[in-house]
Structure formats: structure tokens, C-alpha cells
Amino acid sequence: MEEIPVELITFDPGFKLDVDFDILRSAADAWFDTLVQVLNGLTIPNFSNGSDYMEDNHFYIEQRVDNV
């Protein structure tokens, strides 16, 4: 198999994205607690398939993790 030089590989996604990470951090601080409340309220459905089963499971985040 012939090796293709990296310079010859191009990728054009068709759009440009400029991300301001300070804004993302501010949004994370503002919405993280609400998101945790929603996630902690999720009910995971019971599942069984023959001898395989998954029952009475819970999803719970106990504390806020800094720098998520």
C-alpha cells in the first residue's frame, strides 16, 4: 500500500467555527447544576433478554466536578 503524504490530504467541512472557550465556561457554570438535576431525575428502564437483565439501575451525580 502506498503511503500518502499528509500535505496532500485536504478536508473541507463546508463551514468554519470560532469557539470562545470563556463563553463555554460561563455557560457551563450557569447550566451545569440544572443539567445535573435533570440527569439525576432520569429513570433507566429495566431490560431483560433471556438470562441477561439490567434492573433497578440509577444514574446519579453526587457532586459538582470543577473544570468539567
Instruction: Name the phi and psi angles at 63, rounded to 5.
Output: -150, 165
**Distance, CA of 50 to CA of 63 (rounded, Å):** 36
How do the domains of the chain map onto residue ranges? Answer: 13-68
- pTM score, whole prediction: 0.42
* DSSP secondary structure of 28-47: HHHHHHHHHHHHHTPBPPPE
**Distance, CA of 62 to CA of 36 (rounded, Å):** 9
Could you report the per-residue pLDDT of 7-64, keeping only the tens digit for each? 656 666 677 777 777 877 787 777 887 888 888 888 888 989 988 888 888 888 877 6
32 and 65 Cβ atoms separated by less than 8 Å = no
